[in-house]
Structure 1
Amino acid sequence: MMLTSLSAISPIDGRYRNTTAELANYFSEYALIKYRVFVEIEYFIALVEYPLPQLQQFDKTLSEKLRDIYRNFSEADAESIKEIEKTTNHDVKAVEYFIKKEFDKLSLEPFKEFIHFGLTSQDINNTAIPYTFKLAINNSYYPAINELVNTLKNYAREWDQIPMLAHTHGQPASPTRLGKEIQVFVERLEGQLQQLKSVSYSAKFGGATGNFNAHHIAYPGKDWKAFGNHFVNDVLGLSRSQFTTQIEHYDNFAAQCDALKRINNILIDLDRDMWTYISMNYFKQKIKAGEVGSSAMPHKVNPIDFENSEGNLGIANALFEHLAAKLPISRLQRDLTDSTVLRNIGVPVAHTLIAIKSTVKGLNKLLLNKEAISADLEANWPVVAEAIQTILRREGYPNPYEALKDLTRTNQQINGHTIAAFVDTLDISDAIKQELKQITPLNYTGI
């Protein structure tokens, strides 16, 4: 069976392929191979520019032709590397052999042994993978989450003056404003995004056990630490970890996973709130011609976008949790458990991207139902009890909380007339009575 959207095992590459296709540029097997080639080529060019004595005869004008190897990298090139891997049984060594063949085509045979010079495979993997992760976050994740945040900002401004009954513990509570409740999520998301952006994209580069052993034995007079820092930090735009084993210790990557997980938790909270507001009829949803909400109940327009988002965020967080907990742990100088786990880093990013786009889709369907919101406020006059008892406290009135408690916890219907009648019984000045009677669920919304 050929791999199609119908035969794919994962919904990422099946049902949701159109949503996640852009991530193939960063997390597919093809992408991993391409960026391994990229790192190997840039490493060779860095050695030429260092320079090493044996590379002084290299024609630096050929550097751009070398870069064309990864710039023009094709699926056919990736397939040829996979063919080499069948013999080597080693994926990074296959990349090295492929590049050596490309050197032959450019008549660069004398320089071939400086491809992958002094390196171990993790010097390539632990630079290529954070490089592609950085690309994915910058090019796919941030544009998507920024669209979501901007959508919320627009709603926060649009609904800034819409009074709304709040609910704490599921019960009517002091009124708020709808725009402010949306702004809560804006502030939370922006705060956590700032923390995510503050974490460096760390990379390992230092030979078989992180000490530049092979580099130093071949060229003891060279400052390989400075070279490694320049290559990783300046050429690749990553942050070189200074003391490592054979592999990156992944602590910063774990921090990024935790940050992404926190952002996803905020989105789950948002999805559930929007779902609940829809169930309360505070929002209706735009109807698209031809769409079906239920196979049995023709009237239904379900909040499926928020539900879809919540489900995908849960899967993403489970994987981010595992990545953050597992990757920083490796036996002694290295075991292989990180290798297979690293191949899955695109999966939680993909589920997150599906979720973000679903939430945005759901948000764009919302239709404010001011009538329902106002009716709910009008039906819950007891929420002004807090305001009345607070003013009575200000005036030194005895036991105001208890007086309002006795009024509002009865089974009688509490409305504006009931409140006004209660105020008239209080032993306070007419001015204070008038002040209290001006308070309604619609205007008791704070600042």
Structure 2
Amino acid sequence: MVERYSREIMAKKWDMQAKYDAWLKVELAAVKAWNKLGLINDTDCEKILKNAKFDIARIDEIEKTTKHDVIAFLTSVSESLGEESRFVHYAMTSSDCIDTAVALQIKESLDLILEDVSLLLEVIKKRALEHKNTLMVGRSHGIHGEPITFGLVLAIWYDEILHAKELLEHAREVISYGKISGAMGNFAHAPLEFEEEVCKNLDLKPAPVSNQVIQRDRYAQVISAIAILASSCEQIAVAIRHFQRTEVYEAEEYFSAGQKGSSAMPHKRNPVLSENITGLCRVLRSFVTPALENVALWHERDISHSSVERFILPDAFVTADFMLMRLTNLIDKLLVYPENMMKNLNLTGGLVFSQRVLLELPFKGISREEAYKIVQRNAMKVWADLQNGKAAINEKNESLFLLALLADEDLRKSLSEEDIRRCFDYNYYTKNVDAIFARTFK
């Protein structure tokens, strides 16, 4: 975990205290289960539940000798108890404790991530409603296409993050399983009822079948869901970076008083938050490959997954949490410039209306091929005029494309001036925005 990109609320869920707290929670749930099944008497059970504790410094000291963190942990716990300590970890293997505890940590961390995502969705929705009818140009391949609204852009962001949330919710279900099936998963030394009772105490479900470990496809689904969320967040961050480019300048990150953009160029206002989010998303996606490679373990289990998970699980959750809160604040404070959006929309002299004109001609008996030829011919003329320095819009607020079409004798045989001018209507492109919003923001 990098402190610069961490929030304490998530980092604490993955520190050593949280790790051993989760281990102890599993061990105490096992003691309760054995008590209910009659193996441990009430007195010993109460003593363990009341007095069991651990000391991190002592665990570290013991592990120097044992070279085994679970044994070091259990030794430390035993030192806090009397003879009743003999029932701690009874008929369990290390992974019974570890994997079940990690499921608790992941589940709790996903709950926080889901809270973060819900807040992000609220902010995106708020800004979408604010800019539902704010006109701008839609771009494909980076080139101007047709009029859209900034609200529709935000609606896309909302819907994509909502998909990611659904995947995270599914991942939470997948990971909410424990295993107390013993060293080989065959329940040789403890009944299935023991596992069921332990998992019930921890609000987990027992894995239908396991070997020495919980199968790592569950972990891979969690990391993959986080990576997909990251990609959707990067999609937003990249869009904001494009909006802030000087020659576009349709939106920009909030620039606070006293903030500096460059050590060399005092004028700079850079999209540093969006760029930071882009980088963090790359890191989050990088965890998918090791998570997938952890699925293929030898036989009933090897330990090759352990070192990987000590890195990727804390880092994935801490980074995702930080990234989500940064993105939420960024969108909430995003500066939007409708005037520049309108200026850019007019930049190509009305070419954004070309399809509307194209679709009028077939109703006048013109084939699609001929219609396309007529419209494209005029569009290419406008491109040339723009490159030669002609104004996109004249003093009468008439675009180059409109004037070119009105002057085209072949086109005028089919379309009247009124027909042509009717095609240059921004409202035509926003008439379904309300319906789209109703379908998106249910």
1:59 to partner: Cα distance:
6.5
**Pair 1:284–1:93, CA change in 2 (3 A):** closer
TM-score (norm 2): 0.86
The answer to whether the 8 A contact 2:353-2:423 is kept is yes
Q: 1:70-219, aligned counterparts within 5 Å?
A: 77-104=55-82, 109=83, 111-139=84-112, 141-199=113-171, 200-201=174-175, 202-215=177-190
Given the alignment of the two structures, is residue 438 of structure 1 paired with residue 436 of structure 2, yes or no?
Answer: no
For residue 58 of structure 1, report the CA deviation from its aligned partner. 2.9
Q: Which runs of 5+ in 1 are unaligned?
A: 1-9, 216-223
Preserved contact between residue 297 and residue 304 of structure 2 (Cα < 8 Å):
yes
- What corresponds to 1:378 in structure 2? 346
Residue 343 in structure 1 maps to residue 321 in structure 2 = no
> What per-residue deviation string (whole Å, max 9, x for no partner) do you get for residues 366-410 of structure 1?
211111111111222111010111122234334221110000012
For residues 8-407 of structure 1, what are the structure 2 equivalents within 5 Å?
A: 12-13=2-3, 15-16=4-5, 19-52=6-39, 55-58=40-43, 62=46, 66=49, 69=52, 77-104=55-82, 109=83, 111-139=84-112, 141-199=113-171, 200-201=174-175, 202-215=177-190, 224-232=191-199, 234-279=200-245, 280-323=248-291, 325-344=292-311, 345-380=313-348, 381-398=350-367, 399-407=370-378
Q: Please report the TM-score for the alignment, with normalisation by the length of structure 1.
A: 0.85
Q: CA deviation at 1:101?
A: 2.5
How far apart in 1 are the matches of 2:10 and 2:335?
Answer: 32
Please tell me the residue identity of whatever aligns with 1:382. L
The residue type paired with residue 385 of structure 1 is S
Do 2:165 and 2:229's aligned partners in 1 also have CA atoms closer than 8 Å? yes
SS across alignment from 1:103: coil
Opposite residue 316 of structure 2, the aligned amino acid is: P
Q: Tell me how far 1:57 sits from its aligned partner.
A: 4.7
Task: Report deviation, 1:82.
Answer: 2.2
8 Å Cα contact 1:149-1:186 kept in structure 2? yes
How far apart are the structure 2 equivalents of 1:285 and 1:27? 31
Q: Is 1:412 aligned to 2:391, yes or no?
A: no
Cα distance between partner residues in 2 of 1:419 and 1:169: 21
Q: Confirm or deny: 8 A CA contact 1:34 1:78 kept in the other structure.
A: no
Question: 1:24–1:31: 8 Å Cα contact kept in structure 2?
Answer: no
Contact 1:261-1:321 at 8 Å conserved across structures: no
Match of 2:413 in 1: 427
Per the alignment, in what secondary structure is the counterpart of residue 167 of structure 1? strand
Residues 383 and 441, structure 1, Cα contact 8 Å, conserved in 2: no
Tell me the amino acid that sits aligned with residue 127 of structure 1: T
Three-state SS of the structure 2 residue aligned to 1:85 is helix
Q: How many residues align?
A: 407
Residues 24 and 263 from structure 1, CA distance in 2 versus in 1: closer, same or farther, beyond 3 angstroms?
closer
Q: Deviations over 1:396-429 (max 9, x none)?
A: 3342211100000121246535444424742236
**Conserved in 2, the CA contact under 8 Å of 1:310 and 1:355?**
no
Runs of at least 5 residues in structure 2 that lack an aligned partner in the other structure: 387-391, 433-442
| Letter paired with 2:194 | F
Secondary structure class of the residue paired with 2:125: helix
Helix, strand or coil for the counterpart of 2:132? coil
Cα shift readout 1:259-303 (whole Å, capped 9, x = no counterpart): 111111111111100110111100144331211111111111111
Please give the alpha-carbon distance, in whole angstroms, between the structure 1 residues aligned to 2:419 and 2:69: 78
Amino acid at match of 1:84: I
Return the offset for 1:84.
2.7
Letter in structure 2 aligned against 1:372: N
More off after superposition, 84-93 vs 151-160 = 84-93
Partner deviation per Cα, 1:1-38 (whole Å, 9 max, x = no partner): xxxxxxxxx6x13x33xx33223322122221221111
- Kept in 2: contact 1:285–1:365 (CA 8 A): yes
Q: CA deviation at 1:99?
A: 2.4
| Counterpart AA for 2:49 | L
CA distance in 2, matches of 1:378, 1:67: 74
Give the Cα separation in 2 of the matches to 1:441 and 1:244.
64
**How far 1:440 sits from its partner (Å)?**
3.0
3-state DSSP class of the match of 1:197? Answer: helix
Q: How far 1:69 moved relative to its partner?
A: 4.3
Judged with a 3 Å threshold, the aligned counterparts in structure 2 of structure 1 residues 168 and 287 are, in CA distance, closer, same or farther, namely same
Whole-Å separation in 2 of the counterparts to 1:240 and 1:183: 40
- Offset, 1:136: 1.4
Residues 1:27 and 1:284: Cα distance change in structure 2 (over 3 Å): closer
User: Once structures 1 and 2 are overlaid, which stretch shifts more, 142-151 or 175-184?
Assistant: 142-151
1:83 deviates by: 2.4
Give the Cα separation in 2 of the matches to 1:321 and 1:276. 29
Contact residue 148 and residue 356 of structure 1 kept, 8 A: yes
CA distance in 1, matches of 2:106, 2:399: 62
Q: Which amino acid aligns with 1:331?
A: W
Letter in 2 for 1:255: Q
